[in-house]
């Protein structure tokens, strides 16, 4: 009885009295979300639907009445659907090869490594390589003897986006296929079913939740992509992100750009709601036998395995060809005119582009730890503390990531281009855009990590007299460090490579590598664009390798301390 008595006291005490640091932490988070998430979205809606102080649909009507804008809306949906279908199919083939076919370890490593390349590259790297290969004076066209081939438009944009986003599908589906117990497939085979029938009736149905999530993720990614259509779509295939950008930067029509971004917002939010619906139903289930013994996966037949492996090797070879083309393009004098080797392009990068390199690293170096701190605080508060608005805080902290980058960029320009918060053209707006858009991975990772930590660990610290703040910094934070570092690595990569939102936010004082690459592409300076891309990829690879090492070190340290405990 005496041991239970102290537990009844805190239940009658306000959580803010039990934890004095809770109220300041909640206030800091809500003020930050209000300023950098809610306020820009509200301003975007006001600019779109308000005219002379009254509710008006004139801006939206003007956008919908323009046949070119309507075509851009239809094209965006059609392109996103095509990319999500092709990318999911290709990702499934890769995931099936890695998880179901007895390939040598080095082959599986190669397939996994190739899928990482598009993730650490600028979103339009494949656009540059495809232009050098299939565009005017393209090397592949010359080798094939093909002339007058128009690569720009739907097909070029679709191919580039598919190669860019299919790794997301691969990671999603590989986790699902790895969790399926092979004993289920063995049982079907033992009953006389052919490998093809087993795939159709067992493997594929169990993959449906992962396929659905992959389709939604790729649809949202393609819908928000700005750089690839700007380089490859051309005037004959307009899409909403580029139309909104040109509306603002070319025609200086902020209201028209806001209306177009709202049209882009509608399907993006629909996809976000559908994605949360699938996750909320918890369809990702690890299936295992009661005995715990898992048999090895059986052969799927020479023809099927040969076809899957052949597709993987062809795509892998093509991706490696594209990236080798980027490296080669960075080392020639003038692409298609003078292909003699030179290091002049890299000298150009480290002289004329040095400011962009330093600015990019500076913004990423500031945004990454701040985003990590935000992920820890939001993840901890939403998972461990019970207060009014708990779920709302988690939702709004992830909202900017659900919105297309173009929408976020336009919303930030509208909100912060005038008083009371005039920060356009400063480092602050760039850091805020990255921090509140890309910390979502860290927030989800921290929440998932806290699910695996028994609250009794923190309760033991509190029972020994430690304050809630001390328990948080000395107990909770060390336990979730691996998840935080993973989220910070993701945030750093996107801070270095993103462009869709920050294209509206760069200025003379603060320039970024991705915008310099885009400038080189629009000015047909392909060699310089390739050199910038190579430098950016190497910087991201080196930094993420260091952060990955820190993540593994932190995980080993925690597991070691847990073993000693």
Do residues 324 and 177 share a domain? Answer: yes
Residue 256 placed within a domain: no
Pick from 2-16, 269-283, 516-530, 549-563: least confident: 2-16
What pLDDT is attached to residue 1?
44
Residue 440 placed within a domain: yes
Distance between CA 331 and CA 391 in Å, rounded? 52
How many other C-beta atoms are found inside a 10 Å radius of the C-beta of residue 340?
A: 8
Q: What is the pLDDT of residues 25-77, one digit of tens each?
A: 888 999 999 999 999 999 998 888 887 778 888 888 888 888 988 999 999 99
Residue 224 placed within a domain: yes
Distance between CA 166 and CA 160 in Å, rounded? 10
Residue 422 has pLDDT above 80, yes or no: yes
Residue 5 placed within a domain: no
Q: pLDDT class for 520, splitting at 50, 70, 90?
A: confident
> Which of 538, 531, 504 shows the shortest CA–CA distance to 517?
531
Residue 450 placed within a domain: yes
Do residues 430 and 408 share a domain? Answer: yes
Residue 238 placed within a domain: no
**Tokens standing for 373?**
């701190």
Residue 535 placed within a domain: yes
Do residues 442 and 483 share a domain? Answer: yes
Of residues 335 and 263, more confidence is placed in 263
Do residues 316 and 354 share a domain? Answer: no
In the chain, what percentage of residues exceed pLDDT 90? Answer: 20
Do residues 214 and 317 share a domain? Answer: yes
What pLDDT is attached to residue 285?
42
Do residues 216 and 127 share a domain? Answer: yes
What pLDDT is attached to residue 296?
52
**Tokens standing for 419?**
């008083």
345-350 — which CB contacts under 8 Å span 24+ positions?
A: 345/527, 345/528, 345/530, 345/531, 346/531, 346/534, 346/535, 348/528, 348/531, 349/528, 349/531, 349/532, 349/535, 350/535
Which residues lie closer than 8 Å to 520 by C-beta, 6 or more apart? 526, 528, 529, 532
> Which of 430, 393, 408, 414 shows the shortest CA–CA distance to 505?
430
| Residue labelled with tokens 């139903």 | 281
Which residues lie closer than 8 Å to 190 by C-beta, 6 or more apart? none
CATH number at residue 207: 1.10.3720.10
For residue 37, how far is the Cα from the chain centroid?
Answer: 18
Of residues 554 and 234, more confidence is placed in 234
Do residues 369 and 325 share a domain? Answer: no
Q: What is the pTM of this model?
A: 0.80
Cα distances from 318 to residues 311, 315, 325, in angstroms, run 11, 5, 10
* Contact of 61 with 260, CB cutoff 8 Å: no
Which residues lie closer than 8 Å to 115 by C-beta, 6 or more apart? 94, 166, 167, 170, 171
Helix (H) or strand (E) holding 551: helix 526-564
Distance between CA 340 and CA 68 in Å, rounded? 43
Do residues 353 and 423 share a domain? Answer: yes
Do residues 218 and 349 share a domain? Answer: no
Residue 485 placed within a domain: yes
What pLDDT is attached to residue 278?
62
For residue 382, how far is the Cα from the chain centroid?
Answer: 22
- The H-assigned helical ranges of 180-301 are 182-190, 195-198, 204-224, 227-232, 240-249, 254-280
* Contact of 163 with 118, CB cutoff 8 Å: yes
* Contact of 466 with 349, CB cutoff 8 Å: no
What pLDDT is attached to residue 360?
93
Q: Which domain does 410 fall in, by range?
A: 19-44+334-565
Do residues 163 and 308 share a domain? Answer: yes
What pLDDT is attached to residue 286?
40
Do residues 304 and 229 share a domain? Answer: yes
Residue 100 has pLDDT above 70, yes or no: yes
Distance between CA 520 and CA 332 in Å, rounded? 15
* Bridge partner list, 55: 50
Q: What is the pLDDT of residues 334-391, one digit of tens each?
A: 776 777 888 999 999 999 999 999 999 999 999 999 998 898 888 888 877 777 777 8
What pLDDT is attached to residue 452?
63
Of residues 506 and 441, more confidence is placed in 506
For residue 254, how far is the Cα from the chain centroid?
Answer: 27
Largest CA-CA distance found in the chain, in angstroms, rounded: 89
Residue 19 has pLDDT above 80, yes or no: no
Do residues 28 and 84 share a domain? Answer: no
Number of domains forming the structure of the chain: 2
Pick from 193-202, 252-261, 291-300, 421-430: least confident: 291-300
Helix (H) or strand (E) holding 432: helix 427-438
């Amino acid at each position: 009885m005496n041991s239970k008595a102290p537990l009844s006291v805190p239940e009658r005490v306000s959580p803010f009295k039990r934890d004095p640091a809770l109220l300041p932490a909640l206030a800091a988070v809500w003020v930050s979300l209000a300023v950098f998430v809610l306020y820009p979205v509200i301003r975007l809606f006001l600019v779109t639907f308000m005219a002379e102080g009254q509710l008006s649909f004139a801006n939206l009507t003007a956008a919908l009445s323009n046949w070119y804008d309507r075509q851009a809306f239809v094209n965006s949906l059609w392109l996103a659907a095509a990319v999500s279908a092709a990318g999911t199919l290709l990702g499934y083939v890769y995931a099936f090869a890695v998880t179901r076919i007895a390939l040598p370890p080095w082959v599986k490593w190669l397939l996994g490594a190739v899928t990482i390349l598009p993730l650490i590259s600028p979103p339009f790297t494949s656009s540059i390589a495809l232009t050098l290969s299939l565009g005017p004076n393209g090397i592949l066209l010359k080798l094939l003897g093909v002339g007058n081939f128009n690569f720009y438009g739907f097909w070029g944009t679709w191919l580039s986006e598919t190669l860019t986003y299919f790794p997301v599908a691969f990671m999603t589906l590989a986790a699902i296929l790895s969790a399926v117990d092979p004993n289920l497939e063995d049982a079907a085979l033992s009953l006389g079913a052919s490998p093809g029938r087993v795939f159709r009736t067992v493997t594929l149905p169990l993959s449906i939740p992962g396929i659905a999530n992959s389709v939604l993720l790729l649809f949202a990614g393609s819908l928000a992509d700005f750089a690839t259509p700007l380089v490859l779509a051309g005037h004959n295939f307009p899409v909403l992100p580029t139309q909104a950008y040109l509306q603002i930067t070319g025609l200086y029509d902020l209201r028209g750009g806001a209306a177009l971004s709202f049209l882009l917002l509608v399907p993006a939010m629909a996809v976000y709601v559908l994605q949360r619906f699938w996750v909320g139903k918890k369809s990702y289930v690890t299936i295992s036998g009661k005995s715990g013994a898992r048999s090895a996966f059986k052969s799927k037949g020479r023809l099927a395995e040969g076809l899957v492996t052949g597709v993987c090797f062809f795509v892998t070879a093509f991706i490696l060809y594209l990236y080798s083309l980027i490296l080669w393009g960075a080392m020639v004098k003038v692409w298609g005119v003078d292909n003699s080797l030179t290091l002049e392009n890299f000298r150009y990068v480290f002289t004329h582009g040095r400011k962009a390199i330093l600015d990019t690293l500076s913004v990423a170096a500031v945004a990454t730890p701040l985003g990590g701190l935000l992920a820890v605080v939001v993840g901890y508060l939403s998972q461990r503390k019970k207060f009014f608005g708990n779920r709302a805080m988690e939702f709004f902290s992830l909202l900017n990531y659900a919105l297309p980058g173009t929408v976020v960029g336009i919303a930030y320009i509208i909100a912060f281009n005038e008083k009371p918060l005039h920060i356009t053209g400063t480092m602050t707006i760039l850091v805020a855009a990255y921090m509140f858009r890309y910390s979502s991975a860290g927030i989800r990772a921290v929440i998932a990590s806290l699910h695996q930590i028994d609250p009794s660990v923190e309760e033991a610290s509190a029972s020994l007299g430690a304050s809630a703040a001390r328990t948080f910094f000395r107990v909770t934070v060390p336990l979730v460090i691996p998840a935080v570092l993973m989220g910070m690595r993701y945030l750093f990569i996107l801070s270095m490579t993103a462009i869709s939102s920050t294209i509206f936010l760069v200025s003379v004082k603060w320039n970024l590598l991705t915008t310099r690459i885009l400038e080189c592409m629009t000015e047909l300076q392909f060699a310089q664009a390739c050199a910038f891309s190579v430098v950016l990829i190497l910087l991201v690879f080196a930094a993420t390798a260091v952060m990955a090492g820190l993540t593994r070190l932190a995980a080993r340290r925690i597991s070691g301390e847990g073993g000693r405990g």
